Amino acid sequence: MKTFNIPDFYRSRIITPIKEYRRQKDKLKRDFTPTVLDFGPVRFLIARHFGFCYGVENAIDIAYKAIAENEGKRIFLLSEMIHNPDVNRDLQDRGVQFILDTKGNQLIPWAELTPDDTVIVPAFGTTIEIQNKLAELGINAYQYDTTCPFVEKVWKRAAQIGEKQYTVVVHGKPTHEETRATFSHSKEGAPTIVVKDMAQAQRLATYITGESTPEQFYEEFRGQYSEGFNPAQDLRRIGVVNQTTMLAADTQGIADYLKQVMIYHFHLAPEQVDEHFANTRDTLCYATNDNQDATYALLTHPADFVIVAGGYNSSNTSHLVELCEEKLPTYFIASADKLLDRQLIRHYNLHTKEEVVTENYLPEEPVTIMLTCGASCPDAVVEGILMRLLSFYEGIRPVEEVMEIYR
pTM of the predicted model as reported, rounded to 2 decimal places: 0.90
CATH 3.40.1010.20 fits 8-53+287-406, yes or no: yes
Residues whose CB is less than 8 angstroms from the CB of residue 223 and which lie 6 or more positions away in sequence, other chains included: 174
CATH 3.40.1010.20 fits 151-243+246-284, yes or no: yes
Looking at residue 343, its pLDDT comes to 95
Q: pLDDT of 14-42, one tens digit each?
A: 999 999 999 999 998 899 999 999 999 99
Q: Work out the angle at residue 333's Cα, subtended by the Cα atoms of residues 332 and 339, and round it to the nearest 5 degrees.
A: 120
Q: Work out the angle at residue 381's Cα, subtended by the Cα atoms of residues 46 and 107, and round it to the nearest 5 degrees.
A: 130
Question: What is the Cα–Cα distance from 216 to 352, expressed in whole angstroms?
Answer: 30
From the first residue on, what is the mean pLDDT of each consecutive set of 10 residues in the chain (407 residues)?
A: 87 95 92 96 97 94 96 94 92 96 93 96 95 95 93 95 96 95 96 98 97 96 97 96 89 95 96 93 79 95 98 94 97 97 97 96 95 95 97 95 90
Cβ contacts of 259-268, under 8 Å, gap ≥ 24? 261/205, 261/208, 261/209, 262/208, 262/238, 265/208, 265/209, 266/236
Are both 8-53+287-406 and 151-243+246-284 of the same fold? yes
Q: pLDDT of 34-84, one tens digit each?
A: 999 999 999 999 999 999 999 999 999 999 999 999 999 999 999 998 899
Question: What is the Cα–Cα distance from 56 to 122, expressed in whole angstroms?
Answer: 10
Do 152 and 99 touch, CB atoms closer than 8 A?
no
3 state SS of 319: helix
Question: What is the Cα–Cα distance from 79 to 99, expressed in whole angstroms?
Answer: 6
Do 44 and 386 touch, CB atoms closer than 8 A?
yes
Looking at residue 188, its pLDDT comes to 95
Looking at residue 1, its pLDDT comes to 62
Question: What is the Cα–Cα distance from 221 to 224, expressed in whole angstroms?
Answer: 5
The DSSP string of 25-91 is H-TT----PPEEEE-SSEEEEE-SS-S--HHHHHHHHHHHHHHHHTTTS-EEESS-SSS-HHHHHHH
Q: How many CB atoms lie within 10 A of CB 28?
A: 5
The structural domains of the chain, with segments of one domain joined by +, span 8-53+287-406, 54-136, 151-243+246-284
Q: How far is CA 388 from the centre of its chain?
A: 26
Nearest to 142 by CA among 150, 154, 134: 134
- Residue 69 annotated as catalytic: no
Question: What is the Cα–Cα distance from 119 to 130, expressed in whole angstroms?
Answer: 11
For 111, 310, 314, the CA distances from 77, given in Å and listed in that order, are 15, 20, 18
Looking at residue 407, its pLDDT comes to 78
Residues whose CB is less than 8 angstroms from the CB of residue 274 and which lie 6 or more positions away in sequence, other chains included: none
Looking at residue 282, its pLDDT comes to 65
Looking at residue 228, its pLDDT comes to 96
Please tell me the CATH code under which domain 54-136 is placed.
Answer: 3.40.50.11270
Question: What is the Cα–Cα distance from 286 to 221, expressed in whole angstroms?
Answer: 30
The DSSP string of 161-230 is HHHTTPEEEEES-TTSHHHHHHHHHHTTTS-EEEE-SHHHHHHHHHHHTTSS-HHHHHHHTTTSB-TT--
Nearest to 19 by CA among 56, 53, 42, 43: 53
Query: Which strands make up the sheet holding 75-77, listed edge to edge?
Result: 97-98, 75-77, 118-120
Question: What is the Cα–Cα distance from 114 to 74, expressed in whole angstroms?
Answer: 9
Q: How far is CA 107 from the centre of its chain?
A: 23
What letter represents residue 66's amino acid? Answer: A
Of 178, 322, 325, 404, the catalytic one is 178
Q: How many CB atoms lie within 10 A of CB 41?
A: 16
